[in-house]
Amino acid sequence: MFTYIKDTKNELKNVVWPTKKQVITVTVLVIVLSVVIAYFLGALDYVFAQALAFILNK
């Protein structure tokens, strides 16, 4: 058990952590892409709902 913890600590020393600027940039990118995709899927949902309503009311 102690060997595992020691090895884990040593491995964490080898990790290259992102800079604050990289974290902020990637976070903003994820938020923007999530909003864009949400609007796109919402628009598709609206179009398909209108098409289905048109077909069923025909």
Q: State the Cα–Cα distance between residues 3 and 1, nearest whole angstrom.
A: 5
- Give me the residue spans of the domains in the chain: 2-56
Confidence (pLDDT) at 26: 98
Q: How far is CA 47 from the centre of its chain?
A: 25
Say if pTM beats, i.e. exceeds, 0.85: no
Q: For residues 6 and 39, what is the distance between their CA atoms, to the nearest angstrom?
A: 48
Q: How many CA atoms lie within 13 A of 22 on its CB side?
A: 4
pLDDT tens-place string over residues 23-36: 999 999 999 999 99
